[in-house]
Chain A
Amino acid sequence: MEKIAVKVDDLTVAYNYKPVLWDIDLQIPEGVLMAIVGPNGAGKSTLIKAILGILKPIAGSVTIFGKPYATQRKHVAYVPQKGSVDWDFPTTALDVVMMGTYGSLGWIKRPGPNEKKRALEALEKVGMLSFKSRQISQLSGGQQQRIFLARALVQDASIYFMDEPFQGVDATTEVAIINILKELRKANKTVVVVHHDLQTVPEYFDWVTFLNVKKIATGPVKDTFNDDNLTKTYGINYKVSIQK
Chain B
Amino acid sequence: MTSAQLEIQLIASLVAIACAIPGTFLVLRKMAMISDAISHSILPGIVVGFFITQDLNSPLLILLAALTGVLTVVLVEKIQQTKLVKEDTAIGLVFPALFSIGVIMIAKYANDVHLDIDAVLLGELAFTPFDRVFYNGIDFGPKSLWVIAVILLVTLTLLLLFYKELKMSTFDAGLATSLGFSPAIIHYGLMSVASITTVGAFDAVGAILVVALMIAPAATAYLLTTNLTKMIILACFFGVFSAIAGYWCANYLDASIAGSIATVLGLVFFAVYLFAPHKGLIAVLYREKQQRIEVSLITFILHLKNHKEVEERHVNHLSEHINWQKVRSKTVLDLALKNNFVSIENSIISLTEKGNEFTTKAIDYILTNEDVQIEDMKKDFFLFRG
* Direct chain A–B contact by Cβ atoms under 8 Å: yes
- Residues of A contacting B298 in the complex (Cβ-Cβ under 8 angstroms): 19, 22
Distance in angstroms between the alpha carbons of A214 and B298 in the assembled complex: 13
Per-residue CB contact flags for chain A residues 1-39 toward chain B (1 = under 8 Å, else 0) read: 000000001101010010100110100000000000000
- Which residue of B294, B299, B363 is within 8 Å of A12 (Cβ)? B299
A-B contact pairs, 20 of them (CB 8 A): A9-B322, A9-B323, A10-B322, A12-B299, A12-B302, A17-B294, A22-B298, A22-B302, A23-B306, A25-B306, A57-B323, A58-B292, A58-B296, A59-B296, A59-B300, A59-B324, A61-B322, A212-B367, A214-B366, A214-B367
- Which residue of A14, A59, A213 is within 8 Å of B322 (Cβ)? A59
Please count how many residues in chain B sit with their CB below 8 Å of the partner chain's CB atoms.
20
Contact across chains for A59 and B299 when beta carbons are under 8 A apart: yes
Distance in angstroms between the alpha carbons of A214 and B288 in the assembled complex: 23
- Say if the beta carbon of A219 comes within 8 Å of chain B: no
Q: Which of B338-384 contact A (CB under 8 A)?
A: 363, 366-367
Q: How far does the Cβ of B341 sit from chain A's closest Cβ, in whole Å? A: 15
Q: How far does the Cβ of B381 sit from chain A's closest Cβ, in whole Å? A: 12
Q: How far does the Cβ of A157 sit from chain B's closest Cβ, in whole Å? A: 24
Q: Which of B210-236 contact A (CB under 8 A)?
A: none
Name which residue of chain B comes closest to A19, CB basis.
B366
Contact across chains for B321 and A58 when beta carbons are under 8 A apart: no
Distance in angstroms between the alpha carbons of A27 and B321 in the assembled complex: 15
- Say if the beta carbon of B81 comes within 8 Å of chain A: no
- Say if the beta carbon of A141 comes within 8 Å of chain B: no
New A-B contacts (15) at CB < 8 Å, excluding given A58-B295, A59-B299, A212-B367: A9-B322, A10-B323, A17-B288, A19-B295, A22-B298, A22-B302, A23-B302, A58-B296, A58-B299, A59-B324, A61-B321, A61-B322, A61-B323, A88-B83, A214-B367
- Say if the beta carbon of B177 comes within 8 Å of chain A: no
Per-residue CB contact flags for chain A residues 34-66 toward chain B (1 = under 8 Å, else 0) read: 000000000000000000000001111100000
Name which residue of chain A comes closest to B291, CB basis.
A17
Chain A CB count within 10 A is highest, among B292, B323, B324, for: B323
- Residues of B contacting A19 in the complex (Cβ-Cβ under 8 angstroms): 295, 298, 366
Distance in angstroms between the alpha carbons of A59 and B302 in the assembled complex: 12
- Residues of B contacting A17 in the complex (Cβ-Cβ under 8 angstroms): 288, 291-292, 294-295
Name which residue of chain A comes closest to B312, CB basis.
A10
Contact across chains for B295 and A9 when beta carbons are under 8 A apart: no
- Residues of A contacting B83 in the complex (Cβ-Cβ under 8 angstroms): 88
Q: How far does the Cβ of A44 sit from chain B's closest Cβ, in whole Å? A: 15
Q: How far does the Cβ of A224 sit from chain B's closest Cβ, in whole Å? A: 18
Q: How far does the Cβ of A70 sit from chain B's closest Cβ, in whole Å? A: 12
Chain B CB count within 10 A is highest, among A10, A19, A58, for: A10
Q: How far does the Cβ of B27 sit from chain A's closest Cβ, in whole Å? A: 21
Q: How far does the Cβ of A75 sit from chain B's closest Cβ, in whole Å? A: 20
- Which residue of A23, A88, A213 is within 8 Å of B299 (Cβ)? A23
